[in-house]
Chains A and B, each alone.
Chain A
């Protein structure tokens, strides 16, 4: 299958690769366990009560396996995909027949996925995401690799002549190699590639708190079980176990925390490593593509113009490594769908710059003006997060425990520092076409978008804001909403008018 003219291929209803039968079988089995696990246990118990003979069990097993195979074969047999006019059509279903049609111009992103089985069979999953109301998502689970790539190119080609994608990946050095595919310009640039060392750094700097909580629950649970099983005499045995620390309770806690930390570190390291193995972000003409995964090779792509906004930021540990998490938000239909977000688990400042330059144009020549938020923020947050809780807690504990409660007053200077840091970090950057917000307390977060991607604007004022001539501005986009609080009313109004002017005078399409 090396036809260079894909036109002829997709207008006739076609089945997927025969490998689909196997894939469907596994999917059905998976579904049975996932959705029917509640039924399986009683069914199993009932079977045991019947006390069947061996041969009866074999017959039963044979029947079940046959049913699975027949259903999978029929699903394969009845599954067709083709192109009719300006739409992609999927027909499927054994008893209930469904027909999905998806117009080319609704296509948002096209993703490839490949698990180990699919890799062995030489097929992959093609996922087509759509935007807009009442549209669906199409997923073809067993397409031959080159057929899938042809289909993707065909769809992207039909959707817009300007949006061109390239199938093969090549390094910038051999991009001038002329190939037989003359019907499209092909040039793939690697924007960033994560080396194993980077992955280890990313794994270490992952947010461990979440996995820690899960593990803590897990470890405590096991400990509890052990105690019951072995009839632990707590005081003695634990002292034996953690004898090196005098205070037994502290020792237990310390041990648990150490174990949990270590385990969660190992697990997130492993997860990050295998999930993002050989992570690459590629630029192919007008598109950005992400490829990653060891056991499950995945690919996610979107066109540059579909990206509505981006964000990047670090955390305390990532800062040490100079790492940033970078996210791109393509137009996602009605609700923001995190599945469509293209996120880079870790990259360096130079990578951030490369991608920003690609999406927003050379950032070195863009001039931004800075705007802090109103100083009233400090007063208000100090009052609500610092003074009021501190006074309340102090009063409460003083009544119950006496003067120890006064320690809670230390909360006030702490809160003041935190609020002040947040105030200083928060900056609104404006250029003629771009809006960028910088914020964070312990970390540095940034988000950025073109004015012309804004879908609607909302300016609101609470009684407090009215008294102080402040306002909140919300910018709605198809990717992610931006909300700016504690702006002076005049700035907010000016910005709103300017954004409206930019949007309304923007002649091209926003995606």
Chain B
């Protein structure tokens, strides 16, 4: 029991459990895999270059072990990324927006509309080719409470943004 003498029925409040989360665009997973692979291949390449410049071609076994470890880390993180992707999702409710993520470590972040300061769209280079966008929602609570909603179709992201901006303006209007 949350309160000893509540003035409202707490169990009847809208719950964030068992909501119908909308999944992210599957093409965003491709973007993530590409980004991930690029990062790992560049840093792996750096390692190879370093080893080559130091000892010449027959690599020192230490570097081979390091490189092997690098590949294993790459594969594990990639696997986790793919596995976790299906758990990412968002819901727009009447008065707030919810973003859920995580497979083993999961989290749900909720920002009420009347606490949003502003929002903006951003697009990485690969997201552009797939016509995807990321919606960034900023509150006054600092970086940790800002909501970053990736993997939206650009039109969809723009639509949500417009909806949110309208909500903010409605809230700021003097009430009669």
Give complex CA distance A432, B6 in Å. 7
The interface size of chain A toward B, counting residues with CB under 8 Å, comes to 45
Among the 9-residue stretches A256-264, A292-300, A488-496, the one with 4 or more Cβ atoms under 8 Å from chain B is: A488-496
Encode contact with A along B147-171: 1 for CB under 8 Å, 0 otherwise. Answer: 1000000000000000000000000
A404 within 8 Å of B (CB atoms): no
By a CB distance below 8 angstroms, the chain A residues around B13 are: 497-498, 500-501
Q: Is the CB of A497 within 8 A of B142?
A: no
In this complex, the interface size class of chain B, counting residues with CB under 8 Å from chain A, is 35 or more
Q: Is the CB of B7 within 8 A of A432?
A: yes
Give complex CA distance A466, B114 in Å. 31
Give complex CA distance A336, B143 in Å. 10
By a CB distance below 8 angstroms, the chain A residues around B145 are: 455-456, 458, 476, 481
Give complex CA distance A501, B141 in Å. 18
Give complex CA distance A459, B111 in Å. 12
Q: Is the CB of A478 within 8 A of B4?
A: no
A232 within 8 Å of B (CB atoms): no
A82 within 8 Å of B (CB atoms): no
Tell me the A434-466 residues at the B interface (CB within 8 Å). 454-463, 466
B83 within 8 Å of A (CB atoms): no
Give complex CA distance A207, B173 in Å. 49
Given the known inter-chain contacts A369-B2, A476-B145, A504-B96, please indicate yes or no for A455 contacting B17, CB distance below 8 A. Answer: no
A248 within 8 Å of B (CB atoms): no
Q: Is the CB of B141 within 8 A of A367?
A: no
Tell me the A476-511 residues at the B interface (CB within 8 Å). 476-478, 481, 491, 493-498, 500-501, 503-504, 506-507, 510-511
By a CB distance below 8 angstroms, the chain B residues around A510 are: 115, 140
Q: Is the CB of B141 within 8 A of A507?
A: no
B14 within 8 Å of A (CB atoms): yes
Residue among B5, B7, B109, B118 with max Cβ neighbours from chain A (10 Å): B109
Q: Is the CB of B112 within 8 A of A476?
A: no
Q: Is the CB of A463 within 8 A of B104?
A: yes
Query: Which of B2, B113, B144 is A498 in contact with, Cβ under 8 Å?
Result: B2
Query: Which of B1, B11, B110 is A456 in contact with, Cβ under 8 Å?
Result: B110
Give complex CA distance A127, B109 in Å. 36
Q: Is the CB of A477 within 8 A of B112?
A: no
Query: Which of A431, A491, A500 is B112 in contact with, Cβ under 8 Å?
Result: A500
By a CB distance below 8 angstroms, the chain A residues around B5 are: 367
Q: Is the CB of B110 within 8 A of A457?
A: yes
B123 within 8 Å of A (CB atoms): no
A167 within 8 Å of B (CB atoms): no
Given the known inter-chain contacts A476-B141, A476-B145, please indicate yes or no for A463 contacting B108, CB distance below 8 A. Answer: no
B138 within 8 Å of A (CB atoms): yes
A191 within 8 Å of B (CB atoms): no
A430 within 8 Å of B (CB atoms): yes
Give complex CA distance A252, B157 in Å. 70
By a CB distance below 8 angstroms, the chain B residues around A31 are: none
B105 within 8 Å of A (CB atoms): yes
A132 within 8 Å of B (CB atoms): yes
Q: What's the least CB distance linking B152 to chain A, in Å? A: 19
Q: Is the CB of B115 within 8 A of A503?
A: yes
Q: What's the least CB distance linking A427 to chain B, in Å? A: 14
A387 within 8 Å of B (CB atoms): no
B15 within 8 Å of A (CB atoms): yes
Give complex CA distance A458, B148 in Å. 13
By a CB distance below 8 angstroms, the chain A residues around B8 are: 501
Q: What's the least CB distance linking A253 to chain B, in Å? A: 44
Give complex CA distance A455, B6 in Å. 23
Closest-by-CB residue of A relative to B4 is: A369
Q: Is the CB of A133 within 8 A of B10?
A: no
Encode contact with A along B77-91: 1 for CB under 8 Å, 0 otherwise. Answer: 000000000000000
Q: Is the CB of A458 within 8 A of B3?
A: no
Give complex CA distance A430, B104 in Å. 30
B107 within 8 Å of A (CB atoms): yes
Closest-by-CB residue of B relative to A494 is: B2
By a CB distance below 8 angstroms, the chain A residues around B143 are: 334-335
Query: Which of B95, B106, B142, B175 is A335 in contact with, Cβ under 8 Å?
Result: B142
A131 within 8 Å of B (CB atoms): yes
Tell me the B81-135 residues at the A interface (CB within 8 Å). 95-96, 102, 104-115, 117-118
Give complex CA distance A210, B102 in Å. 40
Q: Is the CB of B142 within 8 A of A481?
A: yes
A163 within 8 Å of B (CB atoms): no
By a CB distance below 8 angstroms, the chain B residues around A460 are: 102, 105-108
Residue among A335, A455, A463 with max Cβ neighbours from chain B (10 Å): A455
Query: Which of B16, B105, B107, B113 is A463 in contact with, Cβ under 8 Å?
Result: B105
Q: Is the CB of A456 within 8 A of B106?
A: no
A331 within 8 Å of B (CB atoms): yes
Encode contact with B along A360-395: 1 for CB under 8 Å, 0 otherwise. Answer: 000000010101000000000000000000000000
Q: Is the CB of A455 within 8 A of B111?
A: yes
Closest-by-CB residue of A relative to B3 is: A369
Q: Is the CB of A506 within 8 A of B2?
A: no
Tell me the A215-257 residues at the B interface (CB within 8 Å). none
By a CB distance below 8 angstroms, the chain B residues around A466 are: 106
Q: Is the CB of B105 within 8 A of A478?
A: no
Q: Which 5 A-B pairs have the closest CB atoms?
A: A476-B145, A455-B141, A476-B141, A460-B107, A456-B145
Q: Tell me the A residues contacting B by CB distance below 8 Å.
A: 131-133, 331, 333-336, 367, 369, 371, 430-432, 454-463, 466, 474, 476-478, 481, 491, 493-498, 500-501, 503-504, 506-507, 510-511
Q: Other CB < 8 Å A-B pairs besides A461-B107, A477-B141, 10 of them?
A: A456-B112, A456-B139, A456-B147, A493-B16, A494-B10, A495-B2, A497-B14, A500-B16, A501-B14, A503-B114
* Cβ contacts A to B, 9 pairs, < 8 Å: A133-B117, A369-B3, A457-B109, A458-B108, A476-B139, A496-B110, A497-B14, A501-B13, A504-B113
Q: Tell me the B residues contacting A by CB distance below 8 Å.
A: 1-8, 10-11, 13-17, 95-96, 102, 104-115, 117-118, 138-145, 147, 175
